[in-house]
Amino acid sequence: MGTDELRSRTDEAASMLLELAKERSNILLYSHNDADGIASASILAKSIERSGGNFTIRVAPGILHQRLDNVGDYDLVVFCGLGIGIVSAIGSSIHKWTAIDHHKSNKQDHHDNVINSWSFGVDGSHDVCTSSMAFLIARGMESSNRDLAWIAVVGALADRQDESKGRILTGINKLVLDDAIEAGSVSVSKDLIMYGRETQPIHKAIGTTFSPYIPGLTGNFDACTGLVTTAGINQKDNGRWRTLMDLSEKEKETLLNAVKPYLSRASTSEGLVDELFGEVYSLVKEYQYSSFTDAREFGTLLNACGRTGRQGLGIALCIGDRSATASEGVEALSQYQSALGKYIQVILTEHGRILERQNVGIIVGDGLVDENMIGPLATILSEVERFTKKILIVRTSTDESHMKCSVRKGKGPTADVELGPLVESVVEQTGGSGGGHPAAASARIPISRAEEFLSKVVSKINGDPN
């Protein structure tokens, strides 16, 4: 089992989709609301449309029984990145369906209709995500769909599949990247990797970099301004803020050298510099100096759309009329970032928001954090120095008497557990739903069982097999 077997399975799905599209069938694309899910639905929608089929897209945070209404009316339903639980949630309500996914489950033996990378021995945390699988299907339908590869590159980066040294894409993601390069949509270079490389003033790019978290600089714009000035780098050019893109190679080197001492303050500083310099992926057909040019920033934009209830906007940004949506996208991005900034500030300063239980940090987001924002918030907090070597659980209450929580591994060596399968096994005991990847998972639990869930997760992380 491996990449070839996975590809022959996505080719089979491509043949089925192509046949149905040519018959002008109605196809429902039912996708997860993160950037990878939005990218997947966009790729498949465009391919179906090009082949003559009709599509409808539904985007949801998870597979909710009530949202399965009317799915039986479609000729085919394609579930994208909705994790495990799909087979039981569907039951017998749909006669024709398939699912593509890259989450790791205890039950990797599932249904014939589910194409899960792990079942083929392909690492769904680093080498393939749902949007790169969606692209394989699109490419199998028509080779001319190669021009959609850039969307999968954005999905893979937003899914943080670029964790290898030098922040490169590997495995199937690399094959997709090669297609995107050949199609003339993406160019790759080596550069500083900081947020807003082309769009933000230099001090802001440093201050909003959370991956890696730079102690003393992340979130501290005054210190960043001081650092840039002391390094002798001009912040403005003829009154215009310069961005990282504007710096000469020499200036970039000077900046990196100025940042290095801050990174060495981190308790697991090894390798952090490598995270700040590596492959950057430019979407060459986009306007320069916009939030659409850097593929990582585009991915954040899709996450912003998905997590703030503007999924349609995210899809339009991928495959629709950009002129009508660009400014709305930038607005969604800014709201998303200011909400995350507010959450982080309150959590790190308000008494009682952080509870320490052995090597687990529990963040109480109740009454503060919107349940849709908890995933990206947990990802950012997992980079924060305070949670180094810990496992982090961020929780919040929902308005439906549930607790939603996202679990992440912090930096450095943490307990040797696989979070997705661990959460999945606890949910079987407490009720609710949950699952995910080895280093990132989430769950939704009835509020009455929340404490029981948390203490079981903490015990399992600390080695209790029950």
Q: Can you give the binding site for ligand C5P, defined by CB under 6 A?
A: 32, 62, 83, 85, 103, 375, 378, 406, 433-437, 440-442
In 320-397, alpha helices (H): 322-349, 374-381
Specify the residue, 140 or 410, whose C-beta has the smaller distance to ligand C5P: 410
**Alpha-carbon span 64 to 204, nearest angstrom:** 39
Specify the residue, 280 or 373, whose C-beta has the smaller distance to ligand C5P: 373
Minimum distance from residue 304 beta carbon to ligand C5P (Å): 14
Length of the chain counted residue by residue: 466
Reported as type and span, the H/E element at residue 79 is strand 76-80
Minimum distance from residue 442 beta carbon to ligand C5P (Å): 3
Minimum distance from residue 432 beta carbon to ligand C5P (Å): 9
Specify the residue, 62 or 365, whose C-beta has the smaller distance to ligand C5P: 62
- Are the CB atoms for 262 and 215 separated by under 8 Å? yes
- Are the CB atoms for 442 and 374 separated by under 8 Å? yes
Specify the residue, 14 or 440, whose C-beta has the smaller distance to ligand C5P: 440
Q: How many helices (H) and strands (E) does the chain have?
A: 16, 15
Minimum distance from residue 22 beta carbon to ligand C5P (Å): 32
Specify the residue, 233 or 378, whose C-beta has the smaller distance to ligand C5P: 378
Minimum distance from residue 89 beta carbon to ligand C5P (Å): 10
What does the H/E/C string look like for 197-209?
CCCCCHHHHHHCC
Report how far Cα 392 is from the mean position of its chain's Cα atoms. 17
Helix (H, G, I), strand (E, B), or coil: what is residue 315? helix
**Alpha-carbon span 229 to 408, nearest angstrom:** 36
Minimum distance from residue 375 beta carbon to ligand C5P (Å): 2
* CB within 8 Å of 433: residues ≥ 6 apart: 62, 63, 85, 427, 443, 444
Helix (H, G, I), strand (E, B), or coil: what is residue 358? coil
**Alpha-carbon span 204 to 395, nearest angstrom:** 29
Whole-angstrom CA distances from 255 to 78, 142, 274, 276, 278 are 47, 45, 14, 11, 15
Specify the residue, 50 or 449, whose C-beta has the smaller distance to ligand C5P: 449
Minimum distance from residue 372 beta carbon to ligand C5P (Å): 9
Shortest CA distance to 403 belongs to which of 436, 431, 438? 431
Q: State the sign of the Cα–Cα–Cα–Cα dihedral 250, 252, 258, 263.
A: negative
Minimum distance from residue 91 beta carbon to ligand C5P (Å): 17
Specify the residue, 25 or 40, whose C-beta has the smaller distance to ligand C5P: 40
Minimum distance from residue 99 beta carbon to ligand C5P (Å): 12
Specify the residue, 9 or 408, whose C-beta has the smaller distance to ligand C5P: 408
| Structure tokens belonging to residue 308 | 């703030």
Minimum distance from residue 31 beta carbon to ligand C5P (Å): 11
Specify the residue, 158 or 194, whose C-beta has the smaller distance to ligand C5P: 158
- Are the CB atoms for 89 and 65 separated by under 8 Å? yes
**Alpha-carbon span 162 to 462, nearest angstrom:** 28
**Alpha-carbon span 44 to 10, nearest angstrom:** 12
Specify the residue, 20 or 339, whose C-beta has the smaller distance to ligand C5P: 339
Helix (H, G, I), strand (E, B), or coil: what is residue 219? coil
